[in-house]
Amino acid sequence: MKDSLFNAIETKYLRSYFIKKDSELGVDRIKSQRSQRNFQEKLLTVSKQKRQVLLSWKTLVASVISSLALGALIAKFTIQPVVIYAGARSVDPVSGSTVSSNVTIDAKKGEQANSGLVIQGDRLQLPGSTPAWLQVVQLASSAADEVVIERLDKGLRLRIFLAKEAGDRALALRLALGLRPEVSGWVTVNFSDK
Amino acid sequence: MNPATVQKLYEGFVTDNVESRRGAVSEAFALYAPLIFKRIRYKFIKVLSESDTEDVVQEAFLKLYLTKSKPMSVESFRSWILKIVMSEALAILRSDYFINIERPIERPQDESEDAEGLSLEETYEMPPVVISPDGVITAINEQLNRSVEACVTEGMMNFSKDYPDREIILSMLLDGSPIQEIADLYNRTEHAMRQFIYESKKKLMPFIEHCLADLREA
């Protein structure tokens, strides 16, 4: 197209005009060796800066990951049990004052409780599908005066306050936990999968 | 441009190797910086010095080096470079030199005609070139030549005032830049640019044809 757009005479005079104009404007400046060299130097500087930025980013990411890993490690050893449920129904002063014992039951995986419930500690999570520990929790929440459920690192801790005088459900709970019917006060049940 | 050179440049831009990319940017600068420099220099001659223009172009190419974008294909590679560099250059002009982005260049007069695929070759009839066998052109005396040059210069100066973009594009064309390259620089299709150039010629002729009339008659 450029060959057919202007005829030879037009091309000659127009080219002559543009050559002069380009020269006046210094259009060839950018083609000069000096300009090319100057650009190479700038490019090299920017390239080095980019590398430094990349390095500093890598350092930052590495330090963040290290901090998080260290934090997780510390947390594993120091974090306290988390209370995931605490409920009180009716703490009567008589029961509260007649605490006669503090009982701790450790139920482990596959352990057979007196009630015949199998406590599957390796599936401890709320809400869970394991009926054994869930039934104990349900029974405790309906029969005991106070129930505190704590999430442990690998398990669950159930703290139940059993009143001295209680109904059938409390008796069922005592049987389920393998306790004697006269036991009252705070009972702690540790479900663990170890 | 040699397809092997284009391929090499393209690979330099798609690779993650820093050295290859730097080499590619350097080569792209040598190839395309003159075109971009020319466009900016012509356009902003009143507000930008020669060295400022050079700085803007160099900065724009440094941004090309830093961009995370990569060309999609070898075919779209040149267009990708020119679009990025031109847009970076205009952004630098706006932020560092407080120069407003220029108006987009005029559209072809009849877009529907453009869409129908009209090409210059099909529609434009060249005027007869009057060069006699015995070399009349070479025999034109210097006085006449100077007066024709002066007349054309005056006509072109008036033309550039009215149609600055058209003047730049005609200049690039006469420099030998491919139409596709100019189209990429202005973010237009090749066909639209052909149409624009054709219209530019039509608009230019009234400014200079009287200067050349004597030569045709000679």
**ipTM score assigned to the predicted complex:** 0.75
Q: Do A30 and B129 touch (CB under 8 A)?
A: no
| Tokens (6 digits) for A122 | 């390796």
pLDDT of res. A109:
41
Q: Which residue of B has its CA nearest to A48?
A: B18
Question: Among A2-6, A10-14, A94-98, A107-111, whose mean pLDDT is lowest?
Answer: A94-98
Is residue A12 scored above 80 in pLDDT? yes
Residues of A in contact with B137 (CB under 8 A): 8-9
Residue A170 pLDDT: 80
Q: Which of A20, A27, A45 to mutate to test the interface with B (most CBs of B within 10 A)?
A: A27
A40–chain B Cβ distance below 8 A for any pair: yes
Q: Please tell me the predicted confidence (pLDDT) of residue A185.
A: 81
B148 and A39 in contact by Cβ < 8 A? no
Q: How would you label A178-192 residue by residue, b for 16+ Cβ within 10 Å and e otherwise?
A: ebeeeebbbbebbbb
SS3 A118: strand
Contact call for A9 and B137, based on CB within 8 A: yes
pLDDT at B216: 62
- Nearest-angstrom CA–CA distance, B144 and B148: 6
Enumerate long-range contacts of B140-143, CB under 8 Å, 24 or more apart: B140/B215, B140/B218
A30 touches chain B (CB under 8 A): yes
Residue B118, pLDDT above cutoff 80:
no
What residue of B is the nearest CA neighbor of A8? Answer: B129
pLDDT score, position A20:
93
Q: For residues A54 and A83, which has the higher predicted lDDT (pLDDT)? A: A54
CB contact under 8 A, B170 and A21: no
CA distances (Å), B172 to each of A6, A131, B178, B183, B218, in order? 14, 84, 8, 11, 30
What's residue B200's pLDDT? 95
Measured CA distances, A134 to A14, A86, A126, B37 (Å)? 94, 15, 8, 78
Most confident of A66-75, A174-183, B5-14, B166-175: B166-175
What confidence tens digit (pLDDT) does each residue in B23-49 have?
A: 999 999 999 999 999 999 998 888 889
Beta carbons of A39 and B26 less than 8 Å apart: yes
Mean pLDDT in residue range A32-54 = 86
Give dist(CA B52, CA B22) in Å, integer.
Answer: 23
Alpha carbons A128 and A130: distance in angstroms, whole number: 6
Measured between CA atoms, the residue of chain B closest to residue A38 is B58
Closest CA relative to residue B211, chosen from B164, B159, B171 = B159
Q: How do A118-119 and A111-112 pair as beta strands?
A: antiparallel
Is it the case that residue B194 has pLDDT exceeding 90? yes
pLDDT at B106: 53
Contact across the interface for A5 and B197, Cβ inside 8 Å: yes
Please indicate if any CB of chain B lies within 8 Å of the CB of A33: no
Type and span of the H or E element at A159: strand A155-162
- pLDDT surpassing 80 at residue A48: yes
Interchain CB distance below 8 Å, B58 and A39: yes
> How does residue A169 score in pLDDT terms, banded at 50, 70 and 90?
confident
Separation of alpha carbons B14 and B5, rounded Å:
14
CA nearest to B38 within chain A: A27
φ, ψ of residue A19 to 5 degrees: the values are -65, -45
**A105 — pLDDT class (breaks 50, 70, 90):** low
B174 and A38: CB-CB below 8 Å?
no
What's chain B's average pLDDT? Answer: 81
Q: Whole-angstrom Cα distance, residue B134 to residue B213?
A: 20
Tell which wins on pLDDT, B214 or A92. B214
Q: Is the pLDDT of residue A66 over 80?
A: yes
Quick one: pLDDT band at residue A83, thresholds 50, 70, 90?
Answer: low
Note the pTM of the prediction, 2 decimals. Answer: 0.57
What is the identity of the amino acid at B19?
E
In chain B, what residues touch A10 (CB-CB under 8 Å)?
Answer: 208, 212
The two three-digit tokens of residue B78, written as one number: 């040149």
Distance from CA of B11 to the nearest CA of A (A): 18
By Cβ distance, the residue of A1, A13, A35 closest to B152 is A13
